[in-house]
Amino acid sequence: MAQLSVRNVTKSYGAVNVLNQVSVEAEEGAFVVLLGPSGCGKSTLLHAIAGLHEIDSGEIRIGDRDVSGLPARERDVAMVFQSYALYPTMSVRENIGFPLKMRGLDKAAIAENVDKVAAILKIEPLLERRPRELSGGQRQRVAIGRALVRDPKLFLFDEPLSNLDAALRGDLRAEIKRLHQRIKCTMVYVTHDQIEAMTLATKIVIMNRGDVQQVGTPHEIYHNPVNLFVARFIGSPPITLLQGKAQLGAAGLSFVIMGGGSRAELSLPDRSWKPDDAGETVMGLRPENIRITQSAQPVTTAIVDLVEPTGPEDIVTLNIMGQRAVIRTPAGIAAQGAQVGIEIDLDRAMLFDPASGARLA
């Protein structure tokens, strides 16, 4: 395994900038996930690391080598594609062993290495089958095995689970996580699925329109997004964004919501940011930060717009003074159309500038 360092990489197609001075660091043994919407540049960046796309400027280092100008075959990386890319006329054993055959290893060494990889991935019973005889999940395990047998410095995954159904996706996601914990190899993984990113990554790189928006652990990305884009992109159910005004008074900083003839003033804990005057502000609240309460003195009240049962809990959409909030509740405590009291964990509230999207506090 090796450290990966991407420094100020740019890539354009004509007048379209796909990567804008992108920098990413992956420590040895890290699991780095490149996350963002379609067209954000994440797959282009992965292909640039692999050597499948030339970069316009910048530097890519794997270990102590600058590989920016090297062809893919000389970078000592292994890539797992969304489409499996298996040879249909070869058996599973032959598919996995093919990279070793191309290196000139003898049959005994190839067989030994294939057997080891098959045992790790628990695909020993499949070794003599052809790809057409396998399910989608089994084919992807074989593709991972073909990458694993090469013992590369760096593993690259290009949306490997997107062709699978939800159940298989969950199973294989867990297997990839166990594999990383076992072999402790540096991995870079591209996805647009935030659940994959949050469950697999030791570090997440959020991208949008060719720019890196934020780099951090899943915990940091979720609880401390640096801007509205990251806050909106991460979280299921999505973050609640309440429009209001922040103001500084004798009692300290507060956030005022008005609508439907009602007004609620929320006193905020001490923050490093202090507005000069009352200004338009957006308050961000995760679903777990808003709760339905039976207290005689709720922070404010809301109307239950929608209840979506999921089994042990309900996803509840609230109307708070004409604004939408989505929360999780224990099953059965909210009825559609009811007026309920709510309390808010203001210690966890985030404040954003509605114009620039930047985090204020």
Domain boundaries, the chain: 4-233, 240-352
Residue among 88, 91, 101 nearest 128 (CA): 91
Start-to-end Cα distance in the chain: 39
pLDDT tens-digit map of 271-286? 888 887 678 999 999 9
Mean predicted confidence (pLDDT) in 92-112: 92
Distances (CA, A) of 276 to 218, 247, 249: 33, 8, 10
Assign domain 240-352 to a CATH class: mainly beta
163 pLDDT more than 90: no
150 contacts: CB under 8 Å, gap ≥ 6: 78, 99, 100
Provide the pLDDT for residue 58.
97
Q: Are strands 31-35 and 186-191 parallel, antiparallel or unpaired?
A: parallel
pTM of the model: 0.92
47 pLDDT more than 90: yes
Residue whose entry in the numeric block shows the structure tokens 């093919």: 98
Provide the pLDDT for residue 275.
82
175 pLDDT more than 80: yes
pLDDT tens-digit map of 290-303? 999 988 788 899 99
Cα–Cα dist 174/176, whole Å: 5
Cα–Cα dist 241/317, whole Å: 13
Q: How confident is the model at residue 168 (pLDDT cuts 50, 70, 90)?
A: confident
Say whether 7 sits in a helix, a strand or coil. Answer: strand
Provide the pLDDT for residue 42.
96
Cα–Cα dist 63/94, whole Å: 30
347 pLDDT more than 80: yes
Fold matches, 4-233 and 240-352 = no
The DSSP bridge partners found for residue 187 are: 31, 155
Mean predicted confidence (pLDDT) in 25-33: 97
Backbone phi, psi, residue 103, to 5°: -80, -10
276 contacts: CB under 8 Å, gap ≥ 6: 248
User: Could you tell me the two tokens for 242?
Assistant: 């309440």
CA dihedral sign of residues 340, 346, 350, 351: positive
User: Could you tell me the two tokens for 228?
Assistant: 């509205």
355 pLDDT more than 80: yes
Q: How confident is the model at residue 337 (pLDDT cuts 50, 70, 90)?
A: very high
User: Could you tell me the two tokens for 70?
Assistant: 């090297």
C-alpha triplet 296, 297, 299: angle, nearest 5°: 140
Residue among 203, 202, 153 nearest 51 (CA): 153
56 contacts: CB under 8 Å, gap ≥ 6: 10, 11, 12
Residue among 218, 167, 168, 211 nearest 189 (CA): 218
Assign domain 4-233 to a CATH class: alpha beta
C-alpha triplet 75, 169, 165: angle, nearest 5°: 125
Which helix (H) or strand (E) is 177 found in, with range? Answer: helix 166-183
Cα–Cα dist 220/21, whole Å: 23
pLDDT tens-digit map of 143-156? 999 999 988 999 99
CB under 8 Å, gap of 24 or more: what pairs does 296-299 form? 298/341, 298/342, 298/343, 299/264, 299/266, 299/341, 299/342, 299/343, 299/344
21 pLDDT more than 90: yes
* Sheet of 290-293, strands arranged across: 290-293, 339-344, 300-309, 313-320, 323-330
Provide the pLDDT for residue 167.
84
CA dihedral sign of residues 83, 85, 90, 96: negative
Provide the pLDDT for residue 260.
78
Which regions of the chain does DSSP assign to beta strands (E)?
A: 4-13, 16-26, 31-35, 57-62, 65-66, 77-80, 154-158, 186-191, 203-208, 211-216, 240-249, 252-259, 262-267, 279-285, 290-293, 300-309, 313-320, 323-330, 339-344, 350-352
Q: How confident is the model at residue 55 (pLDDT cuts 50, 70, 90)?
A: very high
Provide the pLDDT for residue 262.
84
